Amino acid sequence: MIALDFGFGALEGEFWRLVFVMTRIAAALFAAPLFGATTVPPQVRVMATGALAVLVCNWTSVAAPPNLLSLAGMLAVANEALIGLALGFVLQISFAAPMIAAELIGGGMGLSIATTSDPVSGAHSPALGQYFSVVMTVLFLGLGAHLDWLSLLIESYRAFPPGTAWFSGGHMAQVAGFATHMFGTALVIALPVTLLLLLVQVMAGVVSRSAPSLNLFSLGLPAGVLAGLLALIASAPLVTDHLTDLVHTAVAQSGALLER
């Protein structure tokens, strides 16, 4: 346990140490897609951050800078926030891949106008985006990836001890490089459905040229929606496999940031 001798100096020192440790954890939870959702009350975030900070203070020998208001102390706090934001942003990038795939599929099906409020990010997303977001969240929690990510967050205090190790520009370039995997995964998820939708649109164009009296909009839109739904049902096992790989990749990418 955290040793306190009920002296004002010791109590103040342990308090600032706890606050300093909470900086990295709070930044990581704020940037993460699940823990930082707008639906999570701020009180819950503060309590979760404080609980994790107490564990870190017990398990590690993290020490706060002698003077947090000095230039060195403020730079140390900024470095802590940068490390936490990077760990959470990697998860945010991975969770954005299904949303990009939903944009591509929804545009081909004609469902781009059907948007809802995303409870995770608070922004407007396509209707299919809610489906992919729920599936991604269930897989992330069901596979225990959130526990692995929290363990990596605690392990980051060993890889980047506060005040002694800096989050370099190479690590920032590594975070940006993870975005290429995001776009590639989104394309792979959307490719089977978009190819089928392309064939439906080509067939609708041929029919409209063969029978000009037919209304293309009244024929093509229902056919596109029906074909898209059938393609989503048929490709559901494949999409689940891709999202499962994406969950493992997200945790692996977060762990890769801890390597120097």
Chain segment 202-232, per-residue pLDDT in tens: 887 777 777 666 666 666 677 777 887 888 8
Query: What whole-number distance in Å separates Cα of residue 227 and Cα of residue 132?
Result: 18
Alpha helices in the chain (DSSP H): 8-31, 42-59, 71-109, 127-142, 145-159, 169-210, 216-234, 236-256
Query: In the prediction, which pLDDT does 6 show?
Result: 47
Q: What is the mean pLDDT of residues 89-96?
A: 86
Q: What is the mean pLDDT of residues 139-159?
A: 86
Query: In the prediction, which pLDDT does 118 show?
Result: 57
The one-character DSSP state at 122 is: S
Query: In the prediction, which pLDDT does 71 show?
Result: 76
The one-character DSSP state at 163 is: T
Query: In the prediction, which pLDDT does 42 show?
Result: 80
Query: What whole-number distance in Å separates Cα of residue 254 and Cα of residue 252?
Result: 5
Q: 44 vs 113, which has greater pLDDT? A: 44
pTM: 0.75
Kindly give the pairing relationship between strand 115-117 and strand 124-126: antiparallel
Query: In the prediction, which pLDDT does 260 show?
Result: 61
- Among candidates 117, 109, 98, which has minimal Cα distance to 236? 98
Q: Please give the mean pLDDT across all residues of the chain.
A: 78
Q: How many C-beta atoms surround the C-beta of residue 4 within 10 A? A: 11
| pLDDT tens profile 15-46 | 778 888 888 888 888 888 877 777 777 888 88
Q: How many C-beta atoms surround the C-beta of residue 147 within 10 A? A: 11
CB 156 within 8 A of CB 83: yes
Question: Residues 237-260, buried b or exposed e (16+ Cβ, 10 A)?
Answer: eebeebbbebbebbbebbbbbbee
**pLDDT at 250 > cutoff 50:** yes
Query: In the prediction, which pLDDT does 237 show?
Result: 85
Query: What whole-number distance in Å separates Cα of residue 225 and Cα of residue 158?
Result: 51
The one-character DSSP state at 32 is: S
Q: What is the mean pLDDT of residues 122-135?
A: 73
Query: Residue 165 corresponds to which tokens in the numbers above?
Result: 């190790």
